[in-house]
């Protein structure tokens, strides 16, 4: 719709009241249609639902709504039917007529479409019954279930801009800062700096020109918390930034989103247009003397752009190089002016704090980490997705209760928090509470919220090599400790995975890590060695087995394993022969297959196709075991 300009606080309040009171269909069918949902077929599912609802003449009694991310990424595409909150996971268009007939026409749950535990013994037909949600406190994520991210009216129906209305009805900028500071809100981008204090420092900079920045340059592998918020509720971020601009005295802000997030860019662009059209951005907002506007900036995708000073350089049109701090951006930032930079999740929390009050927000969490935190829970757990939990919940509760623990027959050995700048924590530390100080003390960081769970089939050396390669490729190259340190550590780790490691290599890794931590120019370089240092602290024995014994316990490092065939257990099916991409398997004179070790690439394809009951292909972890040309177990 072309929204009529809202000129006063009273008009905003009246519009919200009308929208909330408007007659709505008794049933809402919510389709999760953010990036992960669309990749899994959400748009085809929505089209099938729309066609079937129309065919049966249910338009007046059912509303079909494309929403953002429900957080239930393991179950995409999924549908939630309100008001009963019936949950149908992994739905396909072919099942839509069945769903419409049983649930929308007759009001019955279809057990065959409901969520079922992996054991198959119990179904959970309603959203609130899911084990995945039991420990969560979804202050931010729950809105995503019913909010249409492309309609301002939908945000207003959900109470949107009530916080801005409250602020412009008589709360001074200093009082707004007091409320944010009293809430205990800390930056959700990783550093955990107190948000209210940052705003106060900017406010105290005087009458000079000031700027705000929303850092949406989310680049950690496996992390997509900011993307979920940007795609699902862009209006909350905009409202938070308008309030922030009022509080610190800024007239202009920038929302920086990485180019690899096209749907987030699209939805934020639409939201900005609609908010500006309604008069909630621009000159004299809601008839006040406060003016504020926002611009959307597309980032080029460099990981280092997430560092504050590099982000500023990128917005200014320069190469994303970090600079030495101090001075910090809040003192001298964008174009040399005081600049407040907060990440997506931080800005999204601001309207809730103003609307509900700081004591409401601070009641959740720990003494120094207040509220909730969104994590992207991925890896070797049964349930993955975006989870929102209160600070203070333990790693074990998140991994075993929210994530459902490991798949049957597997054992979780560690969790990586904080992405390539974080650390790998062993299962013995899973009773550690999730807060900034506890994770840092243990040798990891909160980061922006990435959480990768690994099991016994994951090699720690291979994992930290992956993160170091990422850091090497993404280093801006400006300072020698990071540029040379990451490259040096990659070479050492590659040598270890080839079976060429020496005991002194572990000492070299440690020295290089501490040099990078102490001497790198920016935070990214100083934390890039965290995966190595945490591995040396908690998994040194696994590193030593690679170096001293020539053995990869997980059977991952190709230079330390070989595959051979036991002809006494082989059934002669020759599936391995067809599966081998390197043509390293041939049939010997005795009629049984054998592996030419010179041609074998250690890809494991033969092991994958070998019938489990025969176990004919034997995976050997020790370097050189059975590695002679054409060898096979006798």
> Is pLDDT above 70 for 129?
yes
> Is pLDDT above 70 for 620?
no
Q: What's the chain's Rg over C-alpha atoms?
A: 27
Is 381 found in the same domain as 298? no
CB 131 within 8 A of CB 124: yes
Residue 476's CATH number: 1.20.1440.230
Tens digit of each residue's pLDDT (9 = 90 or more) over 299-357: 987 888 889 999 999 999 999 999 988 899 999 999 999 999 999 999 999 999 999 99
Percent of the chain whose pLDDT exceeds 90: 80
Residue 45's CATH number: 3.40.30.10
**Residues counted in the chain:** 634
Domain-located, residue 112: yes
Tens digit of each residue's pLDDT (9 = 90 or more) over 90-101: 999 999 999 999
What span, in angstroms and rounded, lies between the C-alpha atoms of 38 and 42?
5
Give the closest residue to 92 by CA, choosing from 150, 136, 58, 43: 43
Domain-located, residue 11: no
- Token output for 630: 């054409």
Is 302 found in the same domain as 171? yes
Domain-located, residue 554: no
Is 442 found in the same domain as 315? no
* pLDDT computed for residue 627 by the predictor: 39
* pLDDT computed for residue 592 by the predictor: 85
- Token output for 117: 């535990």
> Is pLDDT above 80 for 359?
yes
* pLDDT computed for residue 614 by the predictor: 53
Confidence of residue 612 (pLDDT cuts 50, 70, 90): low
* pLDDT computed for residue 603 by the predictor: 85
Is 33 found in the same domain as 47? yes
> Is pLDDT above 70 for 74?
yes
Distances (CA, A) of 398 to 345, 376, 414, 626: 19, 11, 13, 42
Percent of the chain whose pLDDT exceeds 70: 95
Average pLDDT rounded to a whole number, residues 246-250: 97
| b/e sequence 437-475, b meaning 16+ C-beta within 10 Å | ebbbebbbbbbbbbbbbbbeebbbbbbbbebbbbbbebb
Q: What are phi and psi of 31, to 5 degrees?
A: -110, 125
Residue 504 makes CB contacts below 8 A (sequence gap 6+) with none
Is 424 found in the same domain as 297? no
Domain-located, residue 121: yes
Distances (CA, A) of 126 to 24, 49, 84, 87, 130: 22, 20, 7, 5, 7
Tens digit of each residue's pLDDT (9 = 90 or more) over 392-432: 999 999 999 999 999 888 899 999 999 888 999 999 999 99
Domain-located, residue 301: yes
Out of 362, 381, 406, a domain closes at 362
Give the end-to-end CA distance of the chain in Å, rounded to a whole number. Answer: 77
Is 450 found in the same domain as 469? no
Confidence of residue 119 (pLDDT cuts 50, 70, 90): low
Residue 168 makes CB contacts below 8 A (sequence gap 6+) with 9, 246, 285, 286, 288, 290
Confidence of residue 564 (pLDDT cuts 50, 70, 90): confident
Domain-located, residue 629: no
* pLDDT computed for residue 628 by the predictor: 37
> Is pLDDT above 70 for 247?
yes
DSSP per position, 245-271:
HHHHT-SEEEEEEETT-HHHHHHHHHH
Tens digit of each residue's pLDDT (9 = 90 or more) over 443-455: 999 988 999 999 9
* pLDDT computed for residue 560 by the predictor: 87
Q: Model pTM? A: 0.93
Domain-located, residue 403: yes
108: preceding bond cis by omega (within 30 degrees): no
Q: Which helix (H) or strand (E) holds 417?
A: strand 412-417
What span, in angstroms and rounded, lies between the C-alpha atoms of 73 and 69?
8
* pLDDT computed for residue 397 by the predictor: 97
Residue 382's CATH number: 3.10.20.600
> Is pLDDT above 60 for 630?
no
| b/e sequence 179-213, b meaning 16+ C-beta within 10 Å | bbbbbbbbbbbbebbbbbebbbbbbebeeeebbbb
Domain-located, residue 192: yes
Domain with 517, as residue range(s), is: 460-548
Is 334 found in the same domain as 188? yes
Q: What are phi and psi of 502, to 5 degrees?
A: -125, 155
What span, in angstroms and rounded, lies between the C-alpha atoms of 531 and 425?
9
> Is pLDDT above 90 for 236?
yes
83: preceding bond cis by omega (within 30 degrees): yes
Is 351 found in the same domain as 394? no
Sole residue written with tokens 């040309």? 629
- Rounded to the nearest integer, the mean pLDDT of the chain is 92
Strand stretches in 281-343, DSSP E: 293-299, 339-343
Out of 430, 455, 480, a domain closes at 455
Tens digit of each residue's pLDDT (9 = 90 or more) over 458-515: 999 999 999 999 999 999 999 999 999 999 999 999 999 998 999 999 999 999 999 9
Sole residue written with tokens 């300072």? 479
Longest C-alpha distance within the chain, in Å?
91
> Is pLDDT above 50 for 602?
yes
- Counted domains in the chain: 5
Is 534 found in the same domain as 498? yes
* pLDDT computed for residue 117 by the predictor: 82
CB 1 within 8 A of CB 274: no
What span, in angstroms and rounded, lies between the C-alpha atoms of 351 and 243?
8
Is 469 found in the same domain as 399? no
Sole residue written with tokens 């120019």? 521
Is 240 found in the same domain as 216? yes
* pLDDT computed for residue 613 by the predictor: 57
Is 475 found in the same domain as 332? no
Residue 336's CATH number: 3.40.50.11540
Residue 412 makes CB contacts below 8 A (sequence gap 6+) with 380, 381, 399, 405, 406, 427, 453, 454, 455
Out of 328, 362, 396, a domain closes at 362
Distances (CA, A) of 93 to 51, 98, 453, 454, 568: 11, 10, 32, 34, 49
CB 410 within 8 A of CB 380: yes
């Amino acid at each position: 719709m072309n929204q009529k300009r809202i000129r006063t606080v009273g008009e905003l309040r009246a519009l919200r009241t009308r929208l909330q009171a408007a007659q709505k269909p008794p049933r809402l069918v919510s389709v999760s249609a953010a990036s992960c949902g669309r990749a899994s077929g959400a748009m085809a599912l929505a089209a099938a639902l729309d066609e079937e609802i129309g065919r049966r003449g249910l338009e007046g009694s059912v509303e079909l709504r494309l929403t953002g991310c429900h957080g239930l990424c393991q179950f995409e595409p999924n549908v939630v039917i309100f008001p009963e909150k019936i949950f149908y996971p992994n739905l396909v268009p072919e099942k839509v007529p069945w769903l419409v007939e049983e649930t929308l026409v007759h009001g019955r749950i279809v057990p065959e479409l409901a969520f079922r535990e992996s054991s198959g013994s119990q179904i959970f037909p309603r959203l609130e019954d899911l084990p995945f949600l039991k420990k969560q406190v979804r202050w931010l994520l729950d809105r995503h279930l019913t909010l249409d991210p492309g309609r301002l009216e939908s945000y207003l129906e959900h109470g949107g801009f009530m916080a801005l209305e409250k602020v412009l009805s008589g709360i001074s900028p200093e009082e707004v800062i007091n409320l944010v500071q009293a809430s205990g809100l800390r930056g959700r981008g990783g550093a955990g700096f107190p948000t209210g204090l940052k705003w106060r420092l900017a406010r105290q900079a005087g009458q000079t020109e000031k700027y705000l920045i929303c850092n949406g340059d989310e680049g950690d592998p496996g992390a997509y918390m900011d993307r979920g918020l940007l795609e699902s509720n862009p209006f909350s971020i905009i409202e938070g930034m308008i309030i922030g601009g009022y509080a610190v005295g800024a007239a202009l802000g920038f929302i920086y989103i990485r180019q690899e997030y096209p749907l987030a860019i699209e939805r934020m662009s639409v939201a900005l247009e609609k908010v500006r059209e309604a008069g909630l951005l621009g000159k004299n907002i809601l008839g006040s003397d406060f003016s504020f506007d926002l611009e959307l900036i597309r980032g080029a995708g460099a990981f280092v752009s997430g560092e504050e000073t590099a982000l500023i350089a990128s917005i200014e049109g320069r190469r994303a190089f970090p600079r030495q701090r101090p001075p910090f951006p809040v003192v001298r930032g964008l174009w040399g002016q005081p600049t407040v930079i907060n990440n997506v999740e931080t800005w999204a929390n601001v309207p809730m704090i103003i609307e509900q009050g700081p004591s409401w927000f601070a009641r959740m969490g720990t003494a120094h980490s207040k509220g909730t935190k969104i994590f992207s829970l991925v890896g070797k757990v049964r349930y993955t997705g975006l989870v929102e939990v209160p600070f203070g919940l333990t790693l074990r509760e998140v991994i075993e209760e929210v994530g459902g623990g490991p798949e049957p027959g597997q054992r979780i050995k560690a969790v990586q928090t904080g992405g390539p700048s974080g650390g790998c924590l062993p299962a013995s530390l899973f009773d550690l509470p999730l807060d900034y100080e506890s994770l840092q003390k243990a040798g990891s960081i909160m980061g922006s919220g990435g959480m990768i769970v690994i099991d016994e089939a994951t090699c720690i050396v291979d994992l930290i090599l992956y993160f170091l390669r990422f850091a090497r490729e993404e280093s801006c190259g400006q300072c020698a400790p990071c540029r040379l340190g990451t490259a040096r550590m990659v070479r050492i780790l590659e040598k270890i995975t080839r079976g060429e490691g020496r005991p002194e290599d572990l000492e070299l890794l440690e020295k290089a890590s501490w040099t990078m931590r102490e001497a790198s120019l920016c935070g990214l370089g100083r934390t890039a060695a965290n995966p190595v240092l945490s591995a040396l602290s908690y998994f040194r024995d696994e590193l030593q087995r690679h170096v001293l014994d020539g053995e990869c316990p997980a059977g991952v490092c190709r230079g330390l394993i070989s595959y051979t065939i036991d002809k006494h257990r082989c059934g002669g099916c020759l599936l391995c022969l067809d599966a081998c991409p390197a043509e390293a398997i041939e049939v010997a004179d005795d009629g049984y297959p054998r592996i030419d070790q010179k041609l074998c690439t250690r890809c494991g394809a033969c092991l994958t196709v070998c019938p489990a009951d025969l176990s004919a292909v034997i995976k050997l972890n020790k370097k050189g075991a059975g590695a002679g040309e054409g060898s096979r177990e006798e």
